[in-house]
């Protein structure tokens, strides 16, 4: 079945299609109140992908996240569920345990206001201290994914569930690795999880399928920067086992892989699968837009076996701290770039300065 990519026009679908219990243990869906709408026909519903919210009291990030949740709650048709794409808390890699715990608490409290089931995906900033710059002892018993999973009552870091005739698989792209400085991670799915995925998708049969990862399979950062030496795979921008993952997705006719991590909207279609990166909810970590992507999220519509989507923004003005010098510089650079783009557009439309040929 062909996956149609077109802009989602606000429709008249009601959310609340029959929720099938997750087939693998899943982060318990949270709902602040029951979904009120009547059940929609199977395969007719919308859902949201919220990623890279980096919830923190710094830069009013908690208020920003509340503004996002309010925007989602106001969507009509009301989405049936939310897929949370990772980097839920601001950071556990380089942050004290107490601050990280407060960020997780805020994420949990504010997300509960969604009023719909929501499902966590692991981000690299959601692990405690898997970095040489950690601010916790290497011996902390909650190092790694344990702390956030305990606090969110999240039983398995990768899992799947069915909803409305569709199958959803949530991946964990933060692969543990031991370094000389202590525990860390590599951006990969890993052979064990890939084995789980291929049989999970196989058991889902002909159901249309969506898969979620935090670290993207594809990110064109080198091309967008115009820098041949800026290779996504050299760093931690994309998965190191994209080839193994994509062949599984292709084989099982997955409609789309939803991605995060890069904080920029990107879409890429290859061998029948869409790779959709949503804007970060936090934009530039709550300091405005990041390379043109304003704080936002994506609304997906499942209709029969077709998947369509539209990127959304929500109104948010950055509130920087006095020490945010670099962020002020970035915002000023982006504003200057946008002014120059506007100036060139006006010039080219007017035809002034046109070279003779
Ligand atoms: Fe990330």
DSSP 124-152: GGGSBS-STT-SS-TT-TTTBTHHHHHHT
Q: What is the pTM of this model?
A: 0.88
Read off the pLDDT of each residue in 29-54 and give the average, rounded to a whole number.
66
Give the CA distances from residue 167 to residues 34, 108, 117, 282, in Å, rounded to whole numbers and listed in that order. 23, 25, 15, 28
Q: pLDDT (tens digit, 9 = 90+) per residue, 183-208?
A: 999 999 999 999 999 999 999 999 99
Three-state helix/strand/coil letters over 187-235? ECCCHHHHHHHHHHHHHCCCCCEEEEEEEECCCCHHHHHCCCCCCHHHC
Give the CA distances from residue 23 to residues 156, 195, 197, 209, 343, in Å, rounded to whole numbers and listed in that order. 12, 16, 13, 14, 55
Give the CA distances from residue 342 to residues 332, 336, 345, in Å, rounded to whole numbers and listed in that order. 15, 10, 5
Q: Kindly give the distance from the C-alpha atom of residue 321 to the centroid of ligand 1, in angstroms, as a whole number.
A: 22
The span from the CA of 105 to the CA of 85, in Å, is 17
Residue 43: pLDDT band with limits 50, 70, 90: confident
Fold of the domain built from segment(s) 44-319: Purple Acid Phosphatase; chain A, domain 2 (3.60.21)
Domain coordinates of the chain in residue numbers? 44-319, 325-357
DSSP assignment letter at 256:
E
Residue 46: pLDDT band with limits 50, 70, 90: very high
Residue 196: other Cβ atoms inside 10 A: 19
Q: Kindly give the distance from the C-alpha atom of residue 229 to the centroid of ligand 1, in angstroms, as a whole number.
A: 21
Q: Kindly give the distance from the C-alpha atom of residue 49 to the centroid of ligand 1, in angstroms, as a whole number.
A: 15
Residue 135 pLDDT exceeds 60? yes
Q: Kindly give the distance from the C-alpha atom of residue 261 to the centroid of ligand 1, in angstroms, as a whole number.
A: 4
Q: Kindly give the distance from the C-alpha atom of residue 87 to the centroid of ligand 1, in angstroms, as a whole number.
A: 5
Q: What is the pLDDT of residue 131?
A: 93
Q: Which two tokens stand for residue 264?
A: 């920029």
Cβ distance 169 to 200 under 8 Å? Answer: yes
Q: What is the pLDDT of residue 42?
A: 52
Mean pLDDT of the chain: 88
Q: pLDDT (tens digit, 9 = 90+) per residue, 70-126?
A: 999 999 999 999 999 999 999 999 999 999 999 999 999 999 999 999 999 999 999
Task: Pick the more confident residue, 3 or 217.
Answer: 217
Residue 289 pLDDT exceeds 80? yes
Read off the pLDDT of each residue in 140-168 and give the average, rounded to a whole number.
96
Residue 12 pLDDT exceeds 70? no
Q: Kindly give the distance from the C-alpha atom of residue 260 to the centroid of ligand 1, in angstroms, as a whole number.
A: 7
Residue 14 pLDDT exceeds 50? no
Least confident of 136-140, 156-160, 257-261: 136-140
Q: Kindly give the distance from the C-alpha atom of residue 165 to the centroid of ligand 1, in angstroms, as a whole number.
A: 30
Cβ distance 201 to 254 under 8 Å? Answer: yes
Q: What is the pLDDT of residue 229?
A: 85
Q: What is the pLDDT of residue 153?
A: 97
Q: What is the pLDDT of residue 19?
A: 33
Read off the pLDDT of each residue in 235-250 and give the average, rounded to a whole number.
96
Read off the pLDDT of each residue in 154-178 and give the average, rounded to a whole number.
97
- Identity of the highest mean pLDDT range in 5-9, 12-16, 147-151, 321-325: 147-151
Residue 27 pLDDT exceeds 80? no
Cis peptide before 77 (omega within 30 of 0): yes
3-state helix, strand, coil in the chain (%, to 5): 30, 25, 50
Cβ distance 251 to 281 under 8 Å? Answer: no
Q: Kindly give the distance from the C-alpha atom of residue 251 to the centroid of ligand 1, in angstroms, as a whole number.
A: 27
Question: Which residues are paired to 296 by β-bridges?
Answer: 313
Q: pLDDT (tens digit, 9 = 90+) per residue, 210-232?
A: 999 999 999 998 888 888 888 88
């Amino acid at each position: 079945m062909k996956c149609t990519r077109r802009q989602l026009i606000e429709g008249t679908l009601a959310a609340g299609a029959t929720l099938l219990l997750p087939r693998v243990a899943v982060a318990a869906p949270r709902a602040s109140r029951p979904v009120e709408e009547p059940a929609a026909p199977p395969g007719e519903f919308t859902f949201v992908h919220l990623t890279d919210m980096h919830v923190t009291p710094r830069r009013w990030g908690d208020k920003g996240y509340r503004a996002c949740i309010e925007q989602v709650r106001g969507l009509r048709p009301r989405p049936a569920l939310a897929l949370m794409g990772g980097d839920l808390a601001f950071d556990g890699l380089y942050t004290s345990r107490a601050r990280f715990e407060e960020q997780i608490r805020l994420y949990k409290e504010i997300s509960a206001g969604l009023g719909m089931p929501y499902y966590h995906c692991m981000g690299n900033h959601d692990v405690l201290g898997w970095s040489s710059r950690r601010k916790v002892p290497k011996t902390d018993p909650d190092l790694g994914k344990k702390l956030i999973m305990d606090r969110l009552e999240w039983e398995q870091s990768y899992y799947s569930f069915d909803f409305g005739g569709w199958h959803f698989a949530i991946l964990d792209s933060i692969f543990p690795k031991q370094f000389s400085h202590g525990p860390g991670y590599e951006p990969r799915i890993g052979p064990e999880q890939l084995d789980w995925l291929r049989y999970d998708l196989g058991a889902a049969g002909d159901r249309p399928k969506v898969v979620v990862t935090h670290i993207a399979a594809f990110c064109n950062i080198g091309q967008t920067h115009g820098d041949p030496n800026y290779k996504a795979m050299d760093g931690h921008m994309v998965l190191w086992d994209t080839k193994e993952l994509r062949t599984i997705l292709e084989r099982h006719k997955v409609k789309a892989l939803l991605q995060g991590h890069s904080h920029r909207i990107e879409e890429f279609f290859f061998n029948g699968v869409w790779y959709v990166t949503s804007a970060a909810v936090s934009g530039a970590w709550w300091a405005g837009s990041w390379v043109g992507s304003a704080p936002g999220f994506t609304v997906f519509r499942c209709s029969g076996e077709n998947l369509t989507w539209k990127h959304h923004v929500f109104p948010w003005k950055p509130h920087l701290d006095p020490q945010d010098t670099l962020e002020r510089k970035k915002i000023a650079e982006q504003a200057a770039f946008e002014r120059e783009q506007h100036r060139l557009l006006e010039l080219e439309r007017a035809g002034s300065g046109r070279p003779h040929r």
